[in-house]
Structure 1
Amino acid sequence: MYATYSLRSLVYTALASGLLLTASCRKTTETPTEDITTATDRSDANAEMALSTEAVRAISPAAASAGSANPETSGTDYTSPDADFRARFGSCATRTYNASLRLLTIDFGPTNCLCPDGRYRRGQILVQFTTDNGNTRRAGAVVTRKEYFVNDNQHTATRVFTDLGSGSFSVSVPSASIIYAAANGGGTHAWTASWTFTRTAGYGTATTLDDAYSVSGAAQGTNRKGVGYTTLIQTPLLKRGDCLKYYVHGTLSITNTPGSTLLLDYDPSNTQACDNTASVTVNGVTRTITLR
């Protein structure tokens, strides 16, 4: 049984799981409110997870060379040319790298700044690199936020990146939260997570556009309505650098406690196309959905 619905955009999501269905759903097949809340909250969290994965590679080539005892040992894979940086973070973001502290600061300024993913940001992303030895660009880092807001919702998180070699890395999220503004409904979404990004293409090149990752992992938390949930990548998600908005393959599930399980398939046609077509299965009913 199939129907067509709209799905909220998962722009830049490294771990996309948004399933915001439109009000046109028939009552007999509507997704419960708590499921929609969890899916929406996860979408907001995952957009920032994605931005964090970009942040660990956001040092400018010039700054990295100046701060590295031997810049050639880390190649070009852990830096970001200005055009790539602007494509991810926008025209109003600035980046500074303190080589002695191994600290990268990405600053959106004190007022809302419209970013390429359509979200407004202010505040700072801090990347404290934990590995050096001439390899300041390696994916050993702790990424945090300082006075950081997205669409006026405050984000707090600690994300620990561990380099796995050849451009791959794992990410542990021991604590994270989004405190929603009253104008956005209020409430706090809190979670922990563990993800693995396995590089499958583009390692060692001067651009991020040819990158490809296979993503696996899970997250557990409580949505802004106080409902517990678990999300699990069922088959690895494929993310390509030339397809900024969408995954091109893979499935994941979201299960509320208590509640039903939603299964999202990013490639129902099994073509790995960079498009906005996916499917969602809830209670045995599969629907075609449109990412937007």
Structure 2
Amino acid sequence: MKKSIFNLSGPILLLSTFLLFSCKEDDAPLNPEPAIGAFEDEVVVNSTFEDLDNVTIDVMQSSGLGLRTTGMTTLCAGATVNHDLNAKKITVNFGTTGCTGPQGNVRKGKIIFTYSGTNFLFPGTSIVATFEGYEVNGYKIEGRRTLTNSGVDLASSTITLAVKIENGKVTWPDNTFVTFNSDQVRKLKLGSTGYEASIAGTASGKSREGKDYSLAITQDLMVKQSCVTTGVYIPIAGILELTYQGIVISADYGAGNCDKKILITYPGGTREITAD
């Protein structure tokens, strides 16, 4: 398995995963190696968008929009944050040459947040992220990502978020790209030692080869900040099912241990991999 060249921190990584299989004859054994390469491509796709969670938390905290937690600082020293209160618009500018954040991620370009309401802890409040020339570690990000507060349970300190990505696109340095759309429901439990999150949802799109795929989370993905801070940037539990050209593949993230192991099940076999 080739090494991933992409390393991003975020509360939630690998929201969607797809695998590609090829065989020359109907009864020939499936070769998992092409699937692993495509899997790593999807790691990049999810990492770039999931990294927005940490940026969003930083921006909300610094701008007085609520959702206080012990989130990791993601903004680099060269980034500027311009908050237009009248327009309810926040522009985060990482510059045209880019700057390196505390987790080693090099960002450049702009993220533009527009929001409703005065505090994200109020149900119905939404935050929309769009991009202008935005890149992370050389990967260009496009699309529209909307977070909407669907409800708050004060007794359990849990916020339910509807998360929608429209016209998502990640372009590699060689100009190949993945496009996708997704709908999720996330339950974010806040605490003095960090957050815990569960994720459900679906996604669909086209791979770098132009092939259609769709996926569904069949068992909620789970993420803990206590794992993220130790370098485990993927879900620690939950199952994804991916349908690609009539083939159903699953990815099992385990039972809650802070590790990087994923069990891939495909027609004809299983394979455990360790995410970089």
Q: Give the superposition deviation at 1:125.
A: 1.4
Match of 1:71 in 2: none
Q: Is the 8 A contact 1:164 1:170 kept in 2?
A: yes
Match of 2:156 in 1: none
Distance 2:184 2:127 in 1: 15
Distance 1:217 1:29 in 2: 28
5+ residue gaps, structure 2? 21-27, 153-158
1:43 partner amino acid: V
5+ residue gaps, structure 1? 22-26, 65-73
Using CA pairs below 8 Å that are at least 6 residues apart, which structure has the higher relative contact order? 1
Distance 2:268 2:239 in 1: 15
Q: Give the superposition deviation at 1:104.
A: 2.0
The question of 1:51 aligning with 2:35 is answered no
| Superposed CA offset, 1:224-263 (max 9, x none) | 11111112111000111222212111011222225x3331
| Superposed CA offset, 1:49-92 (max 9, x none) | 2123334332364642xxxxxxxxx7x42x467xx452x34444
Distance 2:8 2:219 in 1: 18
Runs of 4+ in 1 over 6 A off after TM superposition: none
Match of 1:266 in 2: 253
Match of 1:171 in 2: 163
Distance 2:19 2:185 in 1: 26
| Superposed CA offset, 1:172-226 (max 9, x none) | 12211122222xxx32211111011012x32xx5x6x521111001110001111
Distance 1:118 1:280 in 2: 29
Match of residue 241, structure 1, among 225, 230, 240: 225
Q: Give the superposition deviation at 1:147.
A: 0.8
Q: Give the superposition deviation at 1:282.
A: 1.4
Match of residue 12, structure 2, among 11, 14, 25: 14
| TM-score normalised by structure 1 residue count | 0.75
Match of 2:238 in 1: 250
Q: Give the superposition deviation at 1:6.
A: 7.5
Q: Is the 8 A contact 1:253 1:262 kept in 2?
A: yes
Distance 2:150 2:103 in 1: 28
Q: Is the 8 A contact 1:159 1:172 kept in 2?
A: yes
Match of 1:196 in 2: 185
Distance 1:147 1:253, change over 3 A: same
Alignment of 1:95-174 (within 5 A): 95-116=81-102, 118-130=104-116, 132=117, 134-135=118-119, 140-166=126-152, 167-174=159-166
Query: Identity of aligned pairs, percent?
Result: 21
Match of residue 228, structure 1, among 206, 212, 215: 212
The SS at the match of 1:56 is helix
Q: Is the 8 A contact 1:148 1:155 kept in 2?
A: yes
| TM-score normalised by structure 2 residue count | 0.79
Distance 1:249 1:229 in 2: 23
